[in-house]
Amino acid sequence: MSGQGRIKAIQLEYSEARRTMTNALRKAPQHTAVGFKQTVHKLLIVVELLLGEIPDRLQFRQPSLKRSLMPYFLLTQAVRTGNLAKFNQVLDQFGEKFQADGTYTLIIRLRHNVIKTGVRMISLSYSRISLADIAQKLQLDSPEDAEFIVAKAIRDGVIEASINHEKGYVQSKEMIDIYSTREPQLAFHQRISFCLDIHNMSVKAMRFPPKSYNKDLESAEERREREQQDLEFAKEMAEDDDDSFP
């Protein structure tokens, strides 16, 4: 399961990768297979970050996962806050561990997410800010790089703003009520799909039990036949007893 999830993630199929790994964790033994769970959680955290989501904090607090997931907790903080400096620091400090875990290549892809989050944070904090200041805050090489990134963020709908190319600043537009957009609908759709997947798999598991149950089923049928034969034999014995009286 974890291997399939890794392949899907490398192929940019992040939603499918998350579904595969979530199912793998759900089917894993509750009190054993700690190493397997650690491996899957590490990959799942990175995939959720690539999807633009923040992993559940509870998994970082589990005693069996807390120590091994510490680098991924720091990574999550950097991505969540859009802090490129902290992101680079985590990469420098735990790069070898990420490579050993097989997640380094995917984590490198998160740099774009960190920058995108940083742009969103800046847009929320400043109604107007120069491209030079954006470049400095995001640790970019030049205002031109900042202009390109901001333009892409505007085009992708990450922020509501406009760029004044002549004067070199970004003007944020008035905030739009998120409930007037499709974001709540998409979030509910995602959660409902997850619940339906669990329901369908549960129904399938009940409908098609493991083959090991067949022996018990056959034994039950044989037991019913034997009980029926015993009942018929008892009736015959009773009839014979009645016939023996004058």
Phi/psi class of residue 53: alpha, beta or left (left: φ > 0; alpha: ψ in -120 to 50)?
beta
pLDDT, residue 12, reads 83
Q: Residue 82: CA atoms inside 13 Å, Cβ hemisphere, count?
A: 15
Where do the domains of the chain lie?
A: 1-110, 126-175, 181-243
Best CA proximity match to 85, nearest among 136, 148, 130, 151 = 136
| Tokens found for residue 3 | 């291997």
Task: Please state, as a whole number, how many other Cβ atoms lie within 10 Å of the Cβ of residue 109.
Answer: 15
User: What values do phi and psi take at 79, rounded to 5?
Assistant: -70, -40
Best CA proximity match to 158, nearest among 192, 137, 181 = 181
Strands, E assignment, the chain:
128-130, 161-164, 169-172
* Mean confidence (pLDDT) of the chain: 80
Helix/strand/coil for 171: strand
Best CA proximity match to 101, nearest among 40, 172, 167 = 40
Provide mean pLDDT across the span 79-103.
Answer: 89
In angstroms, the CA 213 to CA 135 distance is 65
pLDDT exceeds 50 at position 78: yes
Model confidence pTM above 0.75: no
Task: Please state, as a whole number, how many other Cβ atoms lie within 10 Å of the Cβ of residue 70.
Answer: 13
* Each residue's pLDDT tens digit, 3-61: 777 788 888 888 888 888 888 778 777 767 788 888 888 888 998 899 888 888 888 88
Distant-in-sequence, close-in-space partners of 178: CB < 8 Å, separation ≥ 6: 184
Q: At what angle do helices 34-50 and 84-101 cross, to 10 degrees?
A: 140
Best CA proximity match to 81, nearest among 122, 28, 27 = 122
Radius of gyration of the chain (CA): 30
pLDDT, residue 215, reads 52
The answer to whether the Cα torsion of 216, 221, 224, 230 is positive or negative is: negative
pLDDT, residue 245, reads 45
Of 237 and 53, which is predicted with more confidence?
53
* Each residue's pLDDT tens digit, 118-146: 888 888 888 888 888 888 888 788 888 88
Distant-in-sequence, close-in-space partners of 210: CB < 8 Å, separation ≥ 6: none
How many Å separate Cα 113 from the centre of its chain? 16
Of 201 and 108, which is predicted with more confidence?
108
Best CA proximity match to 52, nearest among 120, 151, 103 = 120
